[in-house]
Amino acid sequence: MKAMRLHAAHAPLREETVAEPRPAPGEVLIKVSACGVCRTDLHLVDGELPQCSSPVTPGHEIVGTVVRSGSAQGRWKEGSRVGVPWLAWTCGECLDCRAGRENLCPRARFTGCHVDGGYAEYTIADERFCLALPERYGDEQAAPLLCAGLIGYRSYLKAGDAKNLGIYGFGAAAHILAQVAHAEGRSVFAFTRSNDLEGQRFARSFGAQWAGGSDESPPEPLDAAIVFAPVGALVVAALKSVRKGGAVICGGIHMSDIPSFPYDLLWGERRIESVANLTREDGERFLELAGKIPIRIETTLLPLARANEALAALREGKLSGAAVLRP
Ligand SMILES: [Zn+2]
Ligand SMILES: [Zn+2]
């Protein structure tokens, strides 16, 4: 089968012909029909995730069809459409797993990081970590739900009942989350790179009540802010815009250093929190919600062989919405 593989940081992915993987008991072989391109893939290519295997096939927003199960009585029937997210496996035994925080399991394995992901024609996954997908979304639209959607949703839950919600960095995750927040009666304030008028128009078209540069102050104080852009300075900018008792939630896996700031910005019981990975429960809850709210998902579809181009476009901020690869 064809796969786009990463052999070394900072090098382009290589198109290779590799053996089709064979599912072990408890795993399924999946024919990939779409795989989203996530900013985490960019951090992987940039060598910012040293915990990942090398070489590796990236891709953790996988939509595909079960071809074969490695078990006689598998969880998924042949032909079932499934989604494969970032969380590939957890131990089930450690303190975090037992406390319902499998996202923090120290032995957790991640798709497209520790195990090969979806930048390929086929992939295998642990059947217990695959997710059922809402029927209203086609394969291309469903792919970004699996990380951009899920991580955005976990960040949103951490923002609590914030009425005025700020979002810093308006890409794939934000354009999905803004619609969920809007549908639930929240007011969304979107922050983009300054002078990115096109990005601000994009944000307003997805339900943001206000959109401006990240150097601007919102017209009303925020109850919480979510930072999706991997820029530490935005944490400080967000703190300045959040009212007392409010939260700044960092939704990315990697971020540049946060500059020092006066304690006064944190004073007043403001808090800064990060979101790490996801649990299966997050996945099930979010996808159930996505089945009820009609979310408009903006994608740019590219053939698998053009994965490097998709990554470059994401890096340069040229994408509105999410890039999706099709084998
Ligand atoms: Zn564990
Ligand atoms: Zn991701």
Chain segment 54-63, per-residue pLDDT in tens: 999 999 999 9
- The DSSP output letter for 12 is P
| Helical ranges in 28-86 per DSSP H | 39-45
Please, are residues 275 and 251 in contact by the beta-carbon 8 Å criterion?
yes
Ligand 2 centroid–CA 303 distance in Å is 19
Please, are residues 320 and 202 in contact by the beta-carbon 8 Å criterion?
yes
pLDDT at 317 over 90: no
Pairing of strands 210-213, 222-227: unpaired
Ligand 1 centroid–CA 82 distance in Å is 24
Q: Which ligand is nearest to the CA of 94?
A: 1
Distance CA 303, CA 52 (A): 25
Ligand 2 centroid–CA 220 distance in Å is 31
Residue 326's identity, in one-letter code, is R
Q: Which ligand is nearest to the CA of 109?
A: 1
pLDDT of residue 320: 82
Three-state DSSP at 238 gives helix
pLDDT at 154 over 90: yes
- Read off the pTM: 0.94
Q: What value does the mean pLDDT take over residues 31-53?
A: 95
pLDDT of residue 134: 98
Distance CA 130, CA 61 (A): 11
Confidence of residue 323 (pLDDT cuts 50, 70, 90): very high
Q: What value does the mean pLDDT take over residues 100-116?
A: 97
Distance CA 154, CA 121 (A): 29
Q: Please, which residues have CB within 8 angstroms of residue 189's CB and are 6 or more apart in sequence?
A: 164, 165, 166, 167, 208, 209, 210, 211, 212, 218, 219, 220, 222
Q: What is the mean pLDDT of the chain?
A: 96
Please identify which residue in the block is written with the tokens 């800064």. 272
Q: What value does the mean pLDDT take over residues 38-52?
A: 94
